[in-house]
Structure formats: structure tokens, C-alpha cells
Structure 1
Amino acid sequence: MNAINEGHVEFEINEKGIGTIEFGHPLSNSLPGKILNKLADTITQLGKDEAVKIIVLKSAGERAFCAGASFDELISIKDFETGKVFFSGFANVINACRTCPKLIIGRVQGKAVGGGVGVASAVDYCFATKFAAVKLSELAVGIGPFVVGPAVQRKIGMSAMSQLAIDATEWQTADWAKEKGLYTETFETVEAMDEAVDTLANKLANSNPEAMRLLKQIFWEGTENWDELLKERAAMSGKLVLSDFTVNAISAFKKK
């Protein structure tokens, strides 16, 4: 496991076959590349583990579910290949969720930004608290939510996704996200959400594994090209991040 100040990914599998994956980082769960790669690998690992019947994906802490990719890494990008690799981080997590044969329950306790919205969109069933507002902030720094866009669009539709992408500085509430289909249910407290997560996870752990695997395939029909699609999207952002406009926007953001 990485040192706590660099973030972490941990998992446990209980006797009922419920695999719980937790990721975290001190900076509002904004995730550097190493943590994103480990998260993707862990999702894939539990997907292949016959002892795992269902996966719960959660983040550490109380205030933020995920603030997206690491801003410190973003501002250090100086060449296209580095940029493409950087923006592939959340692509790898989204594709790991997509190809995982097990159903994934999302637990969103707080705000989700950028890649965090992408993760919430990539799980198969997502619970949230009333504090789990969402924002796609990429355009505000001269880029765009290109990598997470397909996952977000698949879950909430082009109209709602474009609203988030265009109005990049404004938060949308958890109730808005529920209305659009990102969250299946929202709760007043974390405790109430966790009770619902546990109830559904235990129910699914007793369901037919093969039926759930086939359901998952059906849910994700039409996304078979995403390995290449998300690479292309990462390249778009990798090129834009080097532009004068984006460099200046990031510099201005740093001074705030």
C-alpha cells in the first residue's frame, strides 16, 4: 500500500463474498496516476476472484467522494505523451468497471468533481448522500471532460452531460444527479446510505452469479469500443493541456 500521504487503495472480502474497495487521498480524494492505476488493477483483481460475488466501491473520509485527478500532476505536464498518460488514469478505472464481470455498487458520501463524476457513472448502482453534489470543471481550466464524458453520457444522457460540461464552474445538487439518473437514491445521512448499501450488497451476494454476470454484459452493450475511444479522448486532453490557453488558465487557478 502507498504511504498515506500519497493516497491509498485497500480492499477486503467478507465471508458473504462482498468485496469492498476503498480509495483515498488527503487532498479531497483527488487521485494521482499511481493510485488510479492501483484502483483499476484492484477492480480487475476482484472481478476475477471467484470468492467475490459483488463489489462495493467507496472512498475514504466524509466531505469529498473524489475531486478528480491530481492537480499537482496536471500542472507538471510538459509534453504530449505525459499528458496522454495522465488523462488515461480515469479512463483505466472506468474501463475496469466496465469490463469487471461483477456488479459494482457505488457509495458516494460527498462531492464529486471531474473524474469523480466519471467513477460514479461507471458503477452499476450508485447510492449517495444529499451532500454529493457534482461538477465537471474541466472546461474552466481550458480542457474538457473528454475521458469521463462517455461514462457520464451513458448514465445521464447527452443533455444533462452537456449541461455539466458547459456550466463548468457550477455545482449541481445530489437531487439533480438523482433526477438525471446518476444516483439511484440519495440519503440524509451517511449512516442511512450505508444501511442501504449493506442491504443491497447482501441481497446480491445471494443472487445467481451467472445471471448477474449476464445482466452486466447487457447493461454495457454498445461500449465494446471504449478501450480505444477513451485513449482517443485522453489524447485530446493531453494535447489541450499544453496549449497557451490552458497553461494560463491553470496559472490563474493556482493564484486563487
Structure 2
Amino acid sequence: MVYQQIIAEVKENIFYITINREQKLNALNKEVLTELAHAIKFATQSDEIRGVLLTGAGEKAFVAGADISEFQNYSLAEGKELAKVGQTNVFDAIENCPKPVVAAINGFALGGGLELAMACHIRIASENAKLGLPEVTLGLIPGYGGTQRLTQLVGKGRAIEMITTADMITAEKAYRIGLVNEVVPQAELISKAEEILNKIKQRAPLAIASAIKAVNSSLKNNVNGFDIEIEEFAKCFQTEDFKEGVGAFLEKRKAVFKGE
């Protein structure tokens, strides 16, 4: 697929995805979501990719929200389909991706932009970032998992406050309440995300995928997370990576994992 709205490239086993609509503050439209869905599917299936770095073009915005003009006249059925398709193909796909996805939040992460960041496994924010879910100012609520993921990350009280007031918060406050993992100067944002991914690259890929699946299961009401953990733990024993990891430990050398 030839991308028009995003830039995607693999460098040293890291898949860089940049939403490239700087003049529109990288707002999400149908085309962006379609391309993101394709890119995440590619990352999921590629043996070469060990991690994903997701960011927005420029220094003003990660993603400033959804492109409101596309759905201003939608009916109930159309609104439901918009949320369902987006959640399934993009936001849930990111959350369930077996490769760690790090969001490098450069500037505004509002509405669908914050929902996109929350779907990622790790969030690093620049000091100038502003985060919020302003949907109620449009007579809407978050529709891409925002009510669920924000509550999981910061708790019910803070989630309801952020959503019902529609207030933006600073990167520093986002860090204090657990919405982002770290806050760094803008100039260090990408390098910090790369630092984390480069560390992850050295670990066993299949074990990382199992860990993501097990952690995600802790938040699902219809599954027993402890049972999933037991299953994923057991699966690790039949991998070549397990043999390599144990062998390297006993031989006091650095392990070389192949994802097998």
C-alpha cells in the first residue's frame, strides 16, 4: 500500500509511523485511519519489526483530534459504524499488537489523538504536550475507547472529570496521574522513545508478545487473566528463545534472540 497521509519506514527493527498532516495538526480522517490500520497489521505480521514508534509530524501536535467535517451529518447508525470500525481496525489492533507500540506525544493529543496514544503500550510526552478529551463540547463522547482506557489508566474519578469538563491537562499533570510514562524536552522526545524500544529489541520477542497478551487480559471482563498468564508462561518453554536465554544466563554471556 502506498501511504498518502502517514510516513512509515523500518529502521533497525523499529517501525516508525508518522501521521503526516501537519497543516491539519495531524487530525484523524478516514484515510489516516485506513493507512494506520494497514501499517499496524503489517507491524503485527512482520518478523523484522521488534517495536513501533508512533508520532505526529511537526512540533505542534501528535494528533489534535478527529476530522469533524467528515462526520458532522452522520446518523445514529453511521456514528455507531464509525466508532466500531475505528476501534476494531486501529485502536484495538494497536493495543493487541504483539510488538510494543510507543507513542511519542509531540504537542496536542486531543480527542481521537489522546485515544490513539492511550491505545499504545507506552506513552512518552514532550514538555509542551497538552492532553484532553473535549468531545462533550461537540455534544459527543469519546468513541474510540477513550472512556474505557482513560479510566483504566487514571481511575474513575479523574477520567470522569477530564471527560465532563473537557479540560486539557499539561504533560506534567499527565505524568503525575499515570497517563504518560515520562515527560522529556521536545528535542529529546524521539530519542527517548528510541531508547526504550532499543532496550526492548534486546529481549525475547515471543516472550514480549506473551507479556503484552497477558497484561491486556487483566483488563478484560470475559477472560481470566491468571489463566492467560499461565498459558503464555507455558508456551515460552517450547521456544528456542527460552533455550537461548537460559543458556546465555548460565554461560554468563549476552543472549541473542531470534524470535523462534
Sort the Cα spacing of 1:43 and 1:80 in 2 relative to 1 into closer, same or farther, 3 A.
Answer: same
Sort the Cα spacing of 1:2 and 1:56 in 2 relative to 1 into closer, same or farther, 3 A.
Answer: closer
Moved more, 207-216 or 150-159: 150-159
State the match for 1:167 in structure 2.
165
Scaled by the length of structure 2, the TM-score of the pair is: 0.78
Unaligned runs of at least 5 residues, structure 2: 223-260
**Per-residue deviation, residues 200-244 of structure 1 (Å, max 9, x unmatched):** 121111211012111111221145579xxxxxxxxxxxxxxxxxx
State the match for 1:211 in structure 2.
207
CA contact (8 A) 1:23 1:60 kept: yes
Say if 2:218 is the partner of 1:201.
Answer: no
Say if 2:162 is the partner of 1:151.
Answer: no
**Per-residue deviation, residues 164-211 of structure 1 (Å, max 9, x unmatched):** 11111x2111111111111111012x2222221121121111211012
Structure 1 counterpart of 2:82, one-letter code: F
SS in 1 for 2:214: helix
Backbone CA RMSD of aligned residues:
1.9
State the match for 1:191 in structure 2.
187
**Aligned pairs (5 A) from 1:173-184:** 173-184=170-181
CA contact (8 A) 1:53 1:102 kept: yes
Structure 2 counterpart of 1:216, one-letter code: I
- How far apart are the structure 1 equivalents of 2:37 and 2:188? 28
Say if 2:127 is the partner of 1:130.
Answer: yes
CA contact (8 A) 2:3 2:35 kept: no
- How far apart are the structure 2 equivalents of 1:126 and 1:84? 28
- How far apart are the structure 2 equivalents of 1:217 and 1:159? 27
1:90 CA displacement: 4.1
CA contact (8 A) 1:117 1:152 kept: no
TM superposition outliers: structure 1 runs of 4+ over 3 Å: 222-226
Structure 1 counterpart of 2:188, one-letter code: A
Unaligned runs of at least 5 residues, structure 1: 227-256
Match of 2:35 among 34, 38, 41: 38
State the match for 2:54 in structure 1.
57
- How far apart are the structure 2 equivalents of 1:102 and 1:47? 7
**Aligned pairs (5 A) from 1:11-90:** 11-14=8-11, 16-25=12-21, 26-77=23-74, 79-88=75-84, 90=86
Relative contact order higher in (CA < 8 Å, ≥ 6 apart): 1
CA contact (8 A) 1:94 1:151 kept: no
1:128 CA displacement: 0.7
What is the aligned residue count?
218
Sort the Cα spacing of 1:24 and 1:88 in 2 relative to 1 into closer, same or farther, 3 A.
Answer: farther
1:10 CA displacement: 2.4
SS in 2 for 1:220: helix
CA contact (8 A) 2:9 2:16 kept: yes
SS in 2 for 1:198: helix
- How far apart are the structure 2 equivalents of 1:192 and 1:124? 19
Instruction: Please say which structure displays the higher CA radius of gyration.
Output: 2
**Per-residue deviation, residues 27-50 of structure 1 (Å, max 9, x unmatched):** 111111221122122112111101
**Per-residue deviation, residues 89-118 of structure 1 (Å, max 9, x unmatched):** 541321111221111111001111111111
CA contact (8 A) 1:29 1:65 kept: yes
**Per-residue deviation, residues 56-107 of structure 1 (Å, max 9, x unmatched):** 1111111011122111112232x23322233345413211112211111110
State the match for 1:238 in structure 2.
none
